[in-house]
Amino acid sequence: MFDCKNRQLEKYIFRFFVAPFLAFTSMLAFSQENAGFEDKDMGLGIGYALVRFNTNFKFTDKQTNQSIFIDAEGTLGLPDYDAVPVFYGTYRFSPKHAIGFSYFKVRRESSILDFDDTVDDAHIVGQATFSDDTQFFNVFYANTLHEDDRSRILGLFGINFLDIRYVFDAEGTITYDNMTTVGTLHEDAGVLAPMPLLGLDFWYAFTPKWGIGTKVSLVAGSYEDIRGWVVSTNLNAKYRFSKNFGAIIGLSYFDADITIEDSLERTDIVYGYEGLFVGFHALF
């Protein structure tokens, strides 16, 4: 059993640090070039991420303690994969200090005209629609903790704004506890919360044109009736075409666990993805 636990731990560490990842929060090194590059004050970029989603949510009525659990990609047929545009930028205002941002939006929809399935303990026969409208925006300050001719270590401090909204609508016959009714079911899960971000960004230059880096960041905290945490890891390679243009390709792993709690209902949201990112940026 101990060996099994060790293998599981090794598998988790491998996935955590070398997993598929997006580079949209790892853009500071775009404008802070390694040996052989001239430093630029500002960098702006755009890219696309092809990611695989793993999301679900659970609604719990506090008065009856009844719950509805929904697997977004499984039960409701949301697309497992999607191409997401990503915008990023950074401004270096001194040799050791910089600020930056990244933004992306996910919009997925599914419509099932012949829906016949059990959503947790409620069996629904009819039609159902489901949408995922999610935005992620973060701003950060980066401090150069270490720097030499080939390597750089950055400390990241910032705010991550999570804007997640799920809308589920079903219409038809709904059976719960052997009681069948004809009607509609509507569930709306939304969260907009600013949470503190902490992270480390490591970069190493193999040549004046090629570099590789990895970043680990953690977002955790609470805001009003919302609490949650986010773990994100990235592994990126960058290439410099010229003094003013470059590209980045990378893998990303992202896992968010959010709880929304009010006097009547508790909503638990798990939002995860992993995938490949390719971006191009200009340096000024």
Could you report the per-residue pLDDT of 126-148, keeping only the tens digit for each? 888 889 898 989 999 999 999 88
pLDDT of residue 14: 43
pLDDT of residue 46: 95
| Residue carrying structure tokens 């955790």 | 220
Domain ranges of the chain: 2-283
Burial 20-49 (b: 16+ CB within 10 A, else e): bbbbbbbbbbbbbbbeebeebebbbbebbb
Three-state secondary-structure class, residue 102 = strand
| Residue carrying structure tokens 């001194």 | 94
pLDDT of residue 11: 46
Given a contact cutoff of 8 angstroms between Cβ atoms, the answer to whether 45 and 241 are in contact is: no
Burial 175-209 (b: 16+ CB within 10 A, else e): ebeeeeeeeebebebebebbbebebebbbebeeee
User: What would the two tokens of residue 113 be?
Assistant: 């005209």
Rg (CA), the chain: 22
pLDDT < 50 positions in the chain? 1-38
Tallying the residues shown for the chain, one arrives at 284
- Distances, alpha carbon 233 to alpha carbons 65, 149, 192, 255, in Å: 36, 25, 22, 9
pLDDT in tens, 241-272: 988 899 999 999 999 998 988 878 888 989 89
The CATH T-level fold of domain 2-283 is Lipocalin (2.40.128)
pLDDT of residue 39: 57
Given a contact cutoff of 8 angstroms between Cβ atoms, the answer to whether 197 and 158 are in contact is: yes
Is the four-CA dihedral 115, 117, 120, 121 of positive or negative sign?
Answer: positive
